[in-house]
Amino acid sequence: MARRATPEQVGQATVKDVAARAGVSISTVSRVLGGTYPVATATRAKVVRAMRELDFVVNAHARALAGAHTKVVAFVLDDVTGPFHAAVARGVEHQATTEGRLCLLCTTHGDPQRELAVIELMREQQADAVILVGGAWEDSAHQERMTHFARALDRSGSRMVLCGRPALGPDVPATVVEYDNENGAYAITSHLLSAGHRRIAFLGVVEKLTTTTQRVRGFTEAHRAHGLAPDPDLIVTGAFTRGSGYQMTKQLLADGKPFTAIFAATDIVASGVYQALREADLRIPEDVSVVGYDDIPLALDLVPPLTTVHVPHDELGRTAVRLAINRATEPVQHVMLGTHIAVRQSVGPPPPR
C-alpha cells in the first residue's frame, strides 16, 4: 500500500520530476546537483532549466522530513558600507540576538538579479526570514519574481520581509515595515518653502527606485500645496554617493540655473553638495540652504550641521525581525513608522536678489 504524502511534501518537486522534465536520467540530475562529476554543458542547462520551471529546492524534502530549521535571519542590502544600511543592520542584529537567531549579512551591490539569487539561496538554506532593506526596483518582471519568492518562502515556513520598501500587493505573504518616506520629503520641502525658497533643486534621482520615486513625489506635492510647481530642470539624476552629490552640484552651478536651496536625496549626497558649494565660495545657509534625508551621524558633523529627515533606523531593523519571527502572535504584518525633520543650521531665508 502506497504511503500518503505528508503536508510538507505536497507540491514539492522531486529529483525524479526534474529528470522527467529535462529528459535525462535520475543519476544525471544527481550529478548536476552534486557538482563533482562532469556533465555536458547542454545537459546541465536542461537540468537547471527544469529545476527552475518546477521550483525545485535541492534539499527541501530532507529538511521537511527532519523538521529542521537553521535559526538564521538573512539581512539583504545593497552595500555594507552605507551608513543607512549599517544603522538598520544594527537593529536587525540586536533583535535577531534577542530572538535566538544568527544574523547572516548578504550584499547585492545594487544588482536586482543578484538580489533574486540571494533570496533563492536563502530559501534553499531555509532561513527563518529574508529581510530586504532599502528601495525596490520598479520593474514588473523583477516584482513578479519577488512575488514568486515571497510565496515560495511562505510555503517553506520562512518569511520575506520588505524593510523600507512598499508592499508587493495585498495578497502577497510578506512582512512589510516601511517608514513615511513621501511625507518626510513633503515636510522638509515645506520647511524650505516656508523659509521663502521658491527655486529648490532636488539632487540624486535614481531611476526606477521606489526610494527616490517617493521622495520626488513628496517634493512635488509640497510645491503643489503652496501653489507652485518645481522646475524639472532642477530635478537631477544621480546616485546616493558623496561623489555624485559633488558632481551634480558642480554641474548645476556651471549650467547657471538660478536656485536658492538644495534638497539632497540623502545625507551622503548632501556631504558632496557641501564640498562643491564651499569650493564655489558659497556659504550655507547665507547663499544656499541645504537639506538632506536619513539623519545619519554624518549630518551632525557637517559644518553647519545639516537639517534633514530623521529615519528610525534601529526601530526599522528591530521591528522587521520581531514581526517576521513572531508572526503567529503578531497579526499586523504591515506597519508604517514615522519620520520627522531634524532642524539644524543649514537652512535660512533666501539671499536678497
From CA 208, how far away is CA 213, in angstroms rounded?
Answer: 7
Q: Is the pLDDT of residue 79 over 90?
A: no
Residues in the chain: 353
Supply the mean pLDDT for the chain: 88
pLDDT of residue 3: 37
Asked if the model's pLDDT at residue 71 lies above 70, the reply is yes
Mean pLDDT across 27-50: 77
Question: How confident is residue 2, by pLDDT bands cut at 50, 70 and 90?
Answer: very low
Higher pLDDT, 336 or 45: 336
% residues pLDDT > 90 (the chain): 59
pLDDT of residue 1: 38
Residue 51 has pLDDT above 80, yes or no: yes
pLDDT of the residue at 187: 98
Cell numbers for 138, please give them. Answer: 520598479
Nearest to 30 by CA among 52, 13, 15, 49: 15
For residues 255-274, give the mean pLDDT.
97
Sorting pLDDT into bands at 50, 70 and 90, what band is 7? Answer: very low
**What would the 3-class secondary structure string for the chain be?**
CCCCCCCCCCCCCCHHHHHHHHCCCHHHHHHHHHCCCCCCHHHHHHHHHHHHHCCCCCCHHHHHHHCCCCCEEEEEECCCCCHHHHHHHHHHHHHHHHCCCEEEEEECCCCHHHHHHHHHHHHHCCCCEEEEECCCECCHHHHHHHHHHHHHHHHCCCCEEEECCCCCCCCCCEEEEEECHHHHHHHHHHHHHHCCCCCEEEEEECCCEHHHHHHHHHHHHHHHHCCCCCCHHHEEECCCCHHHHHHHHHHHHHHCCCCCEEEECCHHHHHHHHHHHHHCCCCCCCCCEEECCECCCHHHHCCCCCEEEECCHHHHHHHHHHHHHCCCCCCCCEEEECCEEECCCCCCCCCCC
The pLDDT, as a whole number, for residue 9 is: 37
- Flag whether pLDDT at 67 surpasses 50: no
> Taking the model in full, what pTM does it have?
0.79
Q: Which residue has the cell 532561513?
A: 127
* Alpha carbon distances (Å) from 197 to 170, 256, 324: 40, 17, 43
Q: What is the pLDDT of residues 173-231, one digit of tens each?
A: 999 999 999 999 999 999 999 999 999 999 999 999 999 999 999 999 999 999 999 99
* Mean pLDDT across 300-328: 95
pLDDT class of 12 with cuts at 50, 70, 90:
low
Domains of the chain: 15-64 (1.10.260.40), 70-180+313-339 (3.40.50.2300), 181-311 (3.40.50.2300)
At 105-143, the pLDDT tens digits run: 888 888 888 888 888 888 878 889 999 998 888 888 889
Contact 150, 120 (CB under 8 A): no
Sign of CA dihedral 282, 284, 295, 205: negative
Q: Can you tell me the mean pLDDT for 155-178? A: 92
Q: Give me the pLDDT at residue 121, please.
A: 85
How far, in Å, are 100, 163, 166, 305 from residue 193 at the CA level? 48, 30, 28, 20
Q: What tens digit of pLDDT does each residue of 289-299 get?
A: 999 999 999 99
Task: Say whether pLDDT at 86 is over 70.
Answer: yes
Distance CA 176, CA 295 (A): 22
Per-residue pLDDT band for 58 (boundaries 50, 70, 90) equals: low
Tell me the C-alpha to C-alpha distance, in Å, between residue 89 and each of 45, 163, 213. 37, 11, 23
The three grid cell numbers given for residue 276, joined into one nine-digit string:
562643491
Asked if 250 contacts 257 with a C-beta cutoff of 8 angstroms, the reply is no
Given a cut of 90, whether residue 81 has pLDDT beyond it is no
